[in-house]
Structure 1
Amino acid sequence: MKTLQQQLGNYGLYHRSKRNIATHLLGIPLIVFALLCLAARIQIPIGGLDIDGGQVLVFASVVYYLMLSVSLGLIMALLLTLLVVAAQPIAAMAVTPWLIISVGLFVFGWILQFIGHYFEGKKPAFVDDITGLIIGPLFVTVECLFFLGLYKELAQQVNAIAGPSKA
């Protein structure tokens, strides 16, 4: 498995334009939230408990993030837990509003992604490496943390691989 720095750096190679990063700051959370809204509709009985598909996605993602970085994995656990909790009332709606909201957010999120990649002049990272789909949410989170002046060493390591972001 590639290191945290390698994965963020490789993903960053496709995301150097500040306009692209800005569209991802909204687009990726919308896509993740939409997927959780869709998956939360799936009920899975386990040992007398009903868990939903969104919870399973969050658990699997957090395990992966924790393998890359304990501190970032915990941050992602908090953020994704908030999203899956917010997704559950939408998943409980009647079919039509549930689908309109979930699919609408999903499509809008992807439109933002493709607008960003138009600015970037590069295809999305997942086209070349499917792990870009799981690294995207982490990348957006670390970009916010970098903006706040946190994880400075990681920011330098990512920039050493991807290069500095540009206007």
Structure 2
Amino acid sequence: MKTLQQQLGKYGLYHRSKRNVLTHFFGIPLIVFAVICLLARIHIPLGEFVINGAQLVVFASVVYYLMLSVSLGLMMAVLLVLLSIAAAPIAQLAFSHWLLISVGLFVLGWVLQFIGHYYEGKKPAFVDDIVGLVIGPLFVLAELLFMLGLYKKLEHEVTEIAGPTKP
């Protein structure tokens, strides 16, 4: 398994334009929320318990993030649980409303992503490595923390791999 620095650095190679990163601040959360909304409607019986698809994917994602970084993994856990709570009422809507909202948010999120990559002049990272779909949300969190002046060492390590950001 690649380290946190390697994962963020590799993802960062596709995200050096500040405009691209800005579109990702909105696009990636929209996509993640839409996927959680879609998966929250899938019920999985486990003995006496029933979980939904979103809970399963959030759990697996958080385990992966925790393996990369305990502190960032815990932050992602809080964010993903909050998104799951917000998605629950949408998943309970009538089928057509649930689908329209979820797919609409998903498409809007991807439109923002592709606008950002137009500015970047590069394809999305997941085209070359599917793990980019899981690293994207973590990258957005890390970039936000870097902007707040936190995780300076990690920021330096990522920049060593990906290079400096461009306007």
TM-score band (shorter)? over 0.9
2:140 corresponds in structure 1 to 140
Q: Work out the number of aligned pairs and report it.
A: 167
2:119 corresponds in structure 1 to 119
Could you report, residue by residue, the CA deviation over 1:122-153 in whole angstroms, capped at 9, with x for unpaired residues?
A: 00000001110000000000000111111110
Aligned counterparts, 1:43-122, within 5 A: 43-122=43-122
Measure, in 2, the Cα distance between the counterparts of 1:87 and 1:50: 17
Measure, in 2, the Cα distance between the counterparts of 1:4 and 1:83: 23
Could you report, residue by residue, the CA deviation over 1:9-67 in whole angstroms, capped at 9, with x for unpaired residues?
A: 00000000000000000000000000000000001122312211111110000000001
Measure, in 2, the Cα distance between the counterparts of 1:136 and 1:91: 24
Identity %: 72
For 2:88, the aligned partner's letter is Q
Aligned residues: CA RMSD: 0.6
For 1:119, the aligned partner's letter is Y
For 1:103, the aligned partner's letter is V
Secondary structure of the structure 1 residue equivalent to 2:31: helix
Consecutive aligned runs of 4 or more in structure 1 exceeding 6 Å deviation:
none
Structure 2: 5+ residue runs without aligned partners?
none
TM-score between the two structures when normalised by the length of structure 1: 0.99
Structure 1: 5+ residue runs without aligned partners?
none
Measure, in 2, the Cα distance between the counterparts of 1:149 and 1:82: 24
Secondary structure of the structure 1 residue equivalent to 2:50: strand
1:32 corresponds in structure 2 to 32
